[in-house]
Structure 1
Amino acid sequence: MKSSASLLLSQKQSLVLTPQLIESIRLLQLAHTELRQFVEQEVEKNPLLELTTNDSEADDDFSSVLGEDPPRGERENGAEPSERLREEKSTRDTPAAGPGEDVNPERFVANPETLHEHVARQIALTAFNPQERMIAGALANHLDDTGYLPVDLLELAGILNVPLSVVERVLAALQLFDPPGLFGRTVRECLELQLRQQDRFDPAMAVLVANLQMVADREFKALQQLCGVDEEDLLDMLHELRALDPKPGHRFQSGGPESIQPEVWVQPSREGGWNVELDPNTLPKVLINESYFVEVSRLTAQNPKDQAFLNECMENANWLVRSLDQRAKTIIKVAAEIVHQQDAFLRHGVTHLRPLNLRTVADAINMHESTVSRVTSNKYISTPRGVFELKYFFTVAIGSCEGGDAHSAEAVRHQIKAMIAAEDAVLSDEEIAVRLRENGIDLARRTVMKYREAMNIPSSVQRRREKRGWP
């Protein structure tokens, strides 16, 4: 066959993800705190954007609501309009406290002390020589958030080019720091340090700490023999052990306390349905100062570079406003469909939670599953039943013995927990599975065990030991 070259004309369509489209998709999965940080960064970069939470201020300042034009500025010292825009933006965003103006005292509250700050302060007050202080700083840098020291001392000594005995001597001094248990390399050492500072690390307690796995497995008879104590003494030792802090570093905060703020609120309506609304406090309100844009455009009309910068600012501002509006509409659309699907849960509780997946919601509102997944990530909804993450309502379906409607995995877990809480005689996993099948839930014993362990509920053997008086 003879080969030859030819030209063919064809048409095809393809979806191109522009940077702005990618950014709009990313906005969907941001929680309200992350969204506010993103918006604040955009407002800082764009002189045409203003972030406000006061409608009355918006009525006075923005042309989008027929507000008063901002004062006209003049070029000073030959400054370019684009530079002056940024300077004026910075000036307008900086609050100035006038005479007699109330000052928020929360601005002057000190941040909580972190673990590393707490340790550094104690190192500064300890009588170390320069070499020991250097070693102490290196050890403190390896301290994790729980207060443990996950480092090999021999390797660290080689890196610092100091004898291992000196590193061990400095570590021994650091292990006396407050709170007790810091710089322990294992759970056993952490608990041992705390007991030593309480002067309670006797031979019997040393044996108990050396066999923590037996404590976790509740092998109390064997522990009683190993420690050489009677039942009453062992109970006292176990109570002392449980009063210790296995993670002493967790009492320090790495930042400010975080609270859950729901973005969607659900309340009963007068007609018998549900009102689904977005919380306005979680939605950053961004407005475009169009009059400011017009005013500065007059000054930059003869300078193509400055005019291009101003037009780019306006384009980015319009994109941000549209993206935030689309994000809010998408969240309320997804939340409303979830509320519709889980109506029985809102009326009767967790036992009526329906099995639900992303595809069901996506098909109902004509969206892609990935969009629904992004919308429901890290977002919370306030209902008459409490505050839940939107992901909570998506659960696996468990079949029915009688061929009826499937059961939600979360509802089944709730039934297992209720059975164990109300048991007179301890129920085994097989007995729980039998009772569930009597209620029409087809669940295997292994699945019962998996759900029970996920809820941190002890096995029937361990629960039986507790009923006999063991802790």
Structure 2
Amino acid sequence: MALGPRLELRQGQGLVITPQLQQAIKLLQLTNLELEAYVDAELERNPLLQRDDREAEAEAPDAAPPEAAEYALDSTPDHAAAAELDATPDDLSPGERATRDGGDEPAQAGGQIDWSRTGAGGGFDGEDDLEGRLSREKTLSEHLHDQLAVARLSDPERAVAAVLIDAADDGGYLRADLFEIAERLGCGMDLVERVLTVLQGFEPTGVMARDVRECLALQLRERNRLDPAMAALLDHLDLLARRDMAGLRKVCGVDDDDLRDMIGELKALTPRPGAAFGGEPSQPVSPDVFVREGAGGLWHVELNTDTLPRVLVDKRYHARIAGGARSDADKTFVSDCLANANWLVKSLDQRARTILKVASEIVRQQDGFLAFGVEHLRPLNLKTVADAIGMHESTVSRVTSNKYIATPRGLFEMKFFFTSAIASSAGGEAHSAESVRHRIRQLIDAERAEADVHSDDAIVDILKEAGVDIARRTVAKYREAMRIPSSVERRRMLRAAV
């Protein structure tokens, strides 16, 4: 076989993403604050765009205001609203039409979009802004959520943990009432307290404490120094603040040297464990969607119109400047501005409809949680929602990123509602991971004698007979997550009790 240079001409087809289609995809994953900043930048650079407020409507009566963004929950997919986000030839400038059709002519400068002003919404393919994340310190909340991602918790426990972490301040203290959280999530206090105990084992030591005493106690317990004398010192920190050494010696039952050493140990602790992490300015979270209970147990889903920027295309101004354009460059600039303005208005409307469609399907899937509490979260993934509404999984992923739903049970990120599932051995509907854990706990709680103790293999067989297809290692993982001893240890405990 001879080797040598040669020329070949090949013809093929490929999808070329236009700048305006990139814009539509990018807008999906922006938060409402980032979207507002992006629209403000577009208003400054495009003379044909104007904000749709009361004054604008009075000045431009021929411009129709956007459609009201309030809809009742409808489980029927609106495939027309989920149409492909692509521009028509009439909406594109000559350079952009050439790019879309695979030509060699580059898009004109006027049709390009400056993505540097869009904030931290991520890359084009939904990737994180790696450079931005590496150039700043990780926040305490991010650090705790990273540990939560690898913790062995059930779906309800993980949901409670996410709410508790979000209630922690920059110093690492939990600033929320446990009873209020339990009531809002529709779960028992024992579940919230059990999850809090797990979170208090996260790094840095002392995090998620409810007061200074508990924070210092967690750090001393890790050092194996929380003896009765030290516990008494923590119970009387007010005496330490008043430098009442005689009172401290009396309540702790120690002499001067021991008390001096104990105080030195306290000084070596960290009263604000979260202060070591980077902080960000507190930004109030505004919900993108409201969920309200309607008549007959139905749920009403509507967009938060206060977070939706409204813009209009000033067609009268376009007619004025288009008639005065003389050079080809002026005509191209006006044409590009009109195309960008039209497509931005369409993209904003499409974004609102897409968010509403995804949120409505999430509410339909998780109505049990809204009605009865966190124990009734159903297995849910991106594919289920995407198939139900006729969209791609990547679109659903972008929509649910940094979007929030306000429900009667509180404010949650959309991704909060996605939970894992356990397949059914009979080919029926999948079982939620939490329901399987509940069955495992019931089987073990029913053990009354040494002969009744079930091994992990025996539990697998019992669950398979009940229609749950589960592996032995999964049973062991769930059992350990619930802090249940092995079958050998349980037999030993029952034998000792007898």
- TM-score of the pair, normalised by structure 2: 0.48
Query: Are the equivalent residues in 2 in contact too, given 1:146–1:249 (CA < 8 A)?
Result: no
Aligned residue for 1:233?
229
Aligned residue for 1:332?
356
Q: 1:448 aligns with which of 464, 472, 478?
A: 478
1:186-217 CA-partner distances (Å, limit 9, x unpaired):
xxxx99xxxxxxxxxxxxxxxx99x96x832x
Give the RMSD, CA atoms, in angstroms. 4.8
Matched AA of 2:375: T
1:50 aligned onto 2:50: yes
Q: 1:322 aligns with which of 321, 346, 355?
A: 346
Aligned residue for 1:361?
385
- The 5 A counterparts of 1:277-426 are 277-298=302-323, 300-399=324-423, 405-409=429-433
In percent, how many aligned pairs have the same letter?
45
Distance of 2:137 and 2:352 partners within structure 1: 39
Query: Are the equivalent residues in 2 in contact too, given 1:395–1:410 (CA < 8 A)?
Result: no
Task: Give the superposition deviation at 1:233.
Answer: 2.1
Aligned residue for 2:272?
245
Task: Give the superposition deviation at 1:375.
Answer: 1.0
1:116-143 CA-partner distances (Å, limit 9, x unpaired):
xxxxxxxxxxxxxxxxxxxxxxxxxx99
1:287-332 CA-partner distances (Å, limit 9, x unpaired):
111112122223x233332222122111110111111111111111
Aligned residue for 2:35?
35
Distance of 1:450 and 1:24 partners within structure 2: 46
Aligned residue for 2:179?
none
Query: Are the equivalent residues in 2 in contact too, given 1:351–1:412 (CA < 8 A)?
Result: no
In structure 2, relative to structure 1, the CA distance for the partners of 1:50 and 1:399 (3 Å cut) is: same
1:215 aligned onto 2:221: yes
In structure 2, relative to structure 1, the CA distance for the partners of 1:16 and 1:408 (3 Å cut) is: same
1:23 aligned onto 2:19: no
Matched AA of 1:280: T
- The 5 A counterparts of 1:6-17 are 13-17=13-17
Distance of 1:392 and 1:15 partners within structure 2: 34
In structure 2, relative to structure 1, the CA distance for the partners of 1:263 and 1:310 (3 Å cut) is: same
In structure 2, relative to structure 1, the CA distance for the partners of 1:48 and 1:346 (3 Å cut) is: same
Aligned residue for 1:267?
292
Q: Which of 318-327 and 58-67 deviates more?
A: 58-67
Task: Give the superposition deviation at 1:379.
Answer: 0.6
- The 5 A counterparts of 1:104-123 are none
Aligned-partner SS, 1:275: strand
Aligned-partner SS, 1:387: strand
5+ residue gaps, structure 1, are: 1-7, 68-141, 148-178, 180-189, 192-207, 225-230, 418-429, 453-457, 461-471
Aligned-partner SS, 1:65: coil
Aligned-partner SS, 1:16: coil
Distance of 2:390 and 2:333 partners within structure 1: 38
Query: Are the equivalent residues in 1 in contact too, given 2:400–2:414 (CA < 8 A)?
Result: yes
Distance of 2:322 and 2:292 partners within structure 1: 47
Distance of 2:340 and 2:64 partners within structure 1: 22
Aligned residue for 1:194?
none
- TM-score of the pair, normalised by structure 1: 0.51
Q: Greater CA radius of gyration, 1 or 2?
A: 1
Query: Are the equivalent residues in 2 in contact too, given 1:266–1:276 (CA < 8 A)?
Result: yes
In structure 2, relative to structure 1, the CA distance for the partners of 1:249 and 1:354 (3 Å cut) is: closer
In structure 2, relative to structure 1, the CA distance for the partners of 1:145 and 1:267 (3 Å cut) is: closer
Task: Give the superposition deviation at 1:62.
Answer: 2.3
In structure 2, relative to structure 1, the CA distance for the partners of 1:333 and 1:145 (3 Å cut) is: closer
Distance of 2:440 and 2:403 partners within structure 1: 28
In structure 2, relative to structure 1, the CA distance for the partners of 1:254 and 1:293 (3 Å cut) is: same
Distance of 1:64 and 1:415 partners within structure 2: 64
Query: Are the equivalent residues in 1 in contact too, given 2:139–2:279 (CA < 8 A)?
Result: no
5+ residue gaps, structure 2, are: 1-7, 66-134, 141-170, 172-203, 206-215, 236-265, 442-454, 486-498
Task: Give the superposition deviation at 1:246.
Answer: 2.9
In structure 2, relative to structure 1, the CA distance for the partners of 1:412 and 1:58 (3 Å cut) is: farther
Matched AA of 1:295: R
